[in-house]
Amino acid sequence: MYTCQMSLKEQLDNFKKQQVKCQSTLSNIASSRAGGPSSSSSSLRRPVPAAAISHNKPSAPLKFSSDTERLQLINNVRKAPVGAQIKRVISLLFETRQAFTPEQINERCYVDMHANKAVFDSMRKNPKAHYDGRRFSYKAEHNVNNKSELLSLINKYPDGIAANDLKDAYPNVMEDLQALKASDDIWLLSNSQEDIAYPNDFKCEITVDDDFKALFRETEVPSDFLDVEKELKKYGLKLVTDTAARRAAEQKYGIPISQPKHKKKRKQEITKRTKLTNAHLPELFQSLNASTSRN
């Protein structure tokens, strides 16, 4: 018991001595700082090497979930059929409208064309891709990049150009197409399948005399198509039909000749639901105005 008390007393004395020693050390440090501020401040301003900073800085925790998802996506892309990988590359080129090397394409959409020769060869031959020997870029149907170039292109097609052939020219081409229509620079007409853009030729805007309009309406078209062909020949127009030869063949092979039927002309009334296409001839719609007033 006495021995244990002596041991504890010795440990307590040693602890007190260490405290005194630490206190004297701290006092010496404080006095040295007070005596030489310039040397101390220069030592504090000494730049720390970047390697040391990065070594002492705690590393960011790894997120294995996101990395696993990316690796799974890369694996799925590279196992996909050739056509699916080509579509992925074409979509990248179409959306960005930039030129990429195969290495950059691999970084962007994970299609490794160096490891898949079939994809690389197919991309070189693809009509929607341009390859200059180093980079791939998107190849549109028509090489236009802005509204003025779009208008110049449409003016080269007097018979019209399909809007579907223009939609991949540049990102906002359809908005520019509608803007050209709104400014009356072009005609944008629709049929049952697609929109057709026509140039608006202002040279065709002429004033038609009323006498000429009346003469046009009074001209009757013959009911027999043979007479129509005779009139066309009289004015030197080329025919695409031969009614006389067709009727001779019908008689030779015993096919009954279809006689033109003389139907009683029924006056077609114009209603509110009638689609008006001859707005420049307002006298045609007098019946519509009369029926509207009666109602």
Alpha-carbon distance of 118 to 97, in angstroms, equals 24
Q: Alpha-carbon dihedral of residues 90, 94, 97, 98, nearest 10 degrees? A: -20
Domains of the chain plus CATH, in order, are 67-138 (1.10.10), 147-204 (1.10.10), 207-254 (no CATH)
Nearest-angstrom CA–CA distance, 22 and 30: 12
**pLDDT at residue 52, rounded to an integer:** 41
- Of 170, 199, 169, 173, nearest in space to 184 by CA: 199
Contacts of 188 (CB under 8 A, 6+ apart): 163, 177, 178, 180, 181, 195, 196, 197, 198
What pLDDT score was predicted for residue 272?
59
pLDDT in tens, the chain (295 residues): 545 555 677 777 777 777 777 677 767 666 655 554 444 444 433 433 434 434 455 555 545 456 788 888 899 999 999 999 999 999 999 999 899 999 999 999 999 999 999 999 999 999 999 999 999 999 998 989 899 999 999 999 988 999 999 988 988 999 999 999 999 999 999 877 788 999 987 766 678 889 988 998 888 888 888 888 888 888 888 888 888 888 888 887 776 655 555 555 565 555 656 666 655 666 656 655 555 555 5
Q: In this structure, what token pair is assigned to residue 51?
A: 């390697």
Distance CA(228)–CA(234), nearest Å, equals: 10
Chain center to CA of 133: 25
For residues 94 and 168, the answer to whether their CB atoms sit within 8 Å is: yes
| Distances, alpha carbon 65 to alpha carbons 62, 68, 69, 75, 76, in Å | 9, 5, 6, 15, 17
Alpha carbons 106 and 123: distance in angstroms, whole number: 14
SS3 call for 68? helix
**Each residue of 38-97: pLDDT tens digit?**
444 444 334 334 344 344 555 555 454 567 888 888 999 999 999 999 999 999 999 998
pLDDT value of position 190: 85
